Amino acid sequence: MSRLNDVLAHIDAQQDAALERLFALLRIKSISTDPAYAAECRACAEWHAKDLASIGFQAEARGTPGHPIVVAHDRSAKGTSALFYGHYDVQPVDPLELWEHDPFEPKLETLADGTKVIRARGAADDKGQLMTFVEACRAWKAVTGSLPIPVTILLEGEEESGGPSLPGFLEDNAAELKADIGLICDTNMWDATTPAINTMLRGLVGEEIIITAADRDLHSGFYGMAAANPNYVLARILAELRDADGRVTLPGFYDGVPELDPALKAQWEALPFDPKAFLGAVGLSVPAGEKGRSVLEMTWSRPSCEINGMGGGYQGDGFKTVIPSKASAKISFRLVFDQDPHQIREAFRAFVRARVPADCKVEFLEHGAGRAIRFPIDAPAFGQARDALSAEWGKEAFFIGGGGSIPVTHQLKTSLGMDVILAGFGLEDDRIHSPNEKYNLNCFLKGIRSWARILDALAK
């Protein structure tokens, strides 16, 4: 007989202790992109290994060419086996001056509407999220002495820096890590009271281009109009990437992009979604992408091309009349369905090379690539997870698409042959990757209860 009710009661009684553990984790400055924090990343991995060992997992922080990967097993139970993935690394905190308090000194804050939030870097992405699963396991072990199903936990330390070590690690350890179903808690709810399971995520191609003209910065009075200006060259190229209707102009870009299934499109149109409110929340009002496409289509099932950063020439205070030697930009493509990230990268580079003047040079820097992923919602585990979430939140969980990219989902599918349930408890206003990141306390606490229910459901 299931002990689920006893486990849920234990979770409720141990809320303060769970929050204390999360706060201890949030104090570790595990910024993976900055080599200065390598020791902090290792300390964070070791913290997780020790914590998981304390509740009966066989756990260790294993070395990689980059930051350690934590692997923990508890396979004492029988039945459907699960691999849970999370990442312990966090984004840099810059600009620090925009934080209202120390980003690595977590605090519990009450908002004007009475909502309690956990404020710290990594609170939502992904330390608070992954700890919902760990705390659910802790509760099951405390109450029953075991987990309902065999569980392996895999915690990465390079998700925020491209995950270079993970693909090889998965390939080398495939037999050990293989499970019946993957579980990830790094996504959002539909809204603050409605849970959701992401069944569709976009892929990603990241590219940086550097255009060089003269061998040094030039005086614009002496060389203006006579010398090539990389800023102009770059601006022209970037402007041609999308046409007046918002479509990306790279040859072959839409290969492998079918029209959305009518039934799925109808389901999305029935969701309680207000595009005006969606854009209005960030001070905008007019959809800027492909004409004739809904906002949900554009963010879930259509590919995108965005300029994430660009610069060249003098950027400091005051004014300097200079023609820069170099100009650069960072471009990302979000991919859907069967788009090939390597073909997209090559098409982009050919597009740029064809537009660079003869006396300018172009350099390309690669910043990761991953395919889009879709999972079959008619698989039993997805229905079990949806029912468990619906029972906890008192509202039916939605199957939704996701506009972001989680490359590990495709890696788990291709390397380990498993579908992945993406059940997260983040919210759109959590400010992940931004100053003053937060995670709603209710999402953390009910997230723990939700995973306890999902583990119980998968056991059946």
pLDDT at 329 over 90: yes
pLDDT at 2 over 90: no
Helix (H) or strand (E) holding 132: helix 127-144
Helix (H) or strand (E) holding 230: helix 230-239
Instruction: Give the model's pLDDT for residue 378.
Output: 85
pLDDT at 276 over 80: yes
- Average pLDDT value for residue range 319-329: 96
154 phi/psi in degrees, rounded to 5: -125, 115
Distance CA 424, CA 427 (A): 9
Contact in structure between 200 and 406 (CB atoms under 8 Å): no
Q: Give bridge partners of residue 374 from the DSSP assignment.
A: 200
Query: Residue 260 — pLDDT band, cuts 50, 70, 90?
Result: confident
Helix (H) or strand (E) holding 401: strand 398-402
Helix (H) or strand (E) holding 134: helix 127-144
pLDDT at 351 over 90: yes
Query: Residue 376 — pLDDT band, cuts 50, 70, 90?
Result: confident
Q: Which residues in 220-242 are b (16+ Cβ under 10 Å) and which e?
A: beeeeeebbbbbebbeebbeebb
Instruction: Give the model's pLDDT for residue 349.
Output: 98
Contact in structure between 42 and 36 (CB atoms under 8 Å): no
* Max CA distance (Å), the chain: 85
Alpha helices in 288-406 (DSSP H): 295-296, 341-353, 380-393
pLDDT at 370 over 90: no
Instruction: Give the model's pLDDT for residue 124.
Output: 98
Q: Which residues contact 125 (CB under 8 A, 6 or more apart)?
A: 90, 91, 186, 426, 430, 432, 433, 437
Taking phi over 0 as left and psi of -120 to 50 as alpha, with beta for the rest, 292 belongs to left
Compute CA 109 distance to the chain's CA centroid, rounded to the nearest angstrom: 25
Query: Residue 192 — pLDDT band, cuts 50, 70, 90?
Result: very high
pTM, 2 dp: 0.84
In the sheet with 304-312, reading across from the earlier edge strand, the strands are 304-312, 326-335, 203-212, 361-370
In the structure encoding, which two tokens stand for residue 448, read together?
Answer: 């723990």
Q: Which residues contact 113 (CB under 8 A, 6 or more apart)?
A: none
pLDDT tens sequence across 212-245: 999 999 999 999 999 999 999 999 999 999 999 9
The lowest-confidence range among 76-85, 243-252, 260-269, 383-392 is 260-269
pLDDT tens sequence across 102-146: 999 999 999 999 999 999 999 999 999 999 999 999 999 999 999
- Closest by CA to 322, choosing from 233, 216, 209, 238, is 216
- Average pLDDT value for residue range 256-270: 87
CATH architecture assigned to 4-201+374-458: 3-Layer(aba) Sandwich (3.40)
Q: Which residues contact 308 (CB under 8 A, 6 or more apart)?
A: 330, 331, 332
Residue 122 CA: distances (Å) to CA of 48, 82, 93, 226: 15, 24, 10, 50
Contact in structure between 327 and 310 (CB atoms under 8 Å): yes
Domain coordinates in residue numbering, the chain: 4-201+374-458, 203-257+303-370
- Average pLDDT value for residue range 374-402: 93
pLDDT at 416 over 90: yes
pLDDT at 194 over 80: yes
User: Token match 């229910």: residue?
Assistant: 453
pLDDT at 1 over 80: no
Contact in structure between 145 and 137 (CB atoms under 8 Å): no
CATH architecture assigned to 203-257+303-370: 2-Layer Sandwich (3.30)
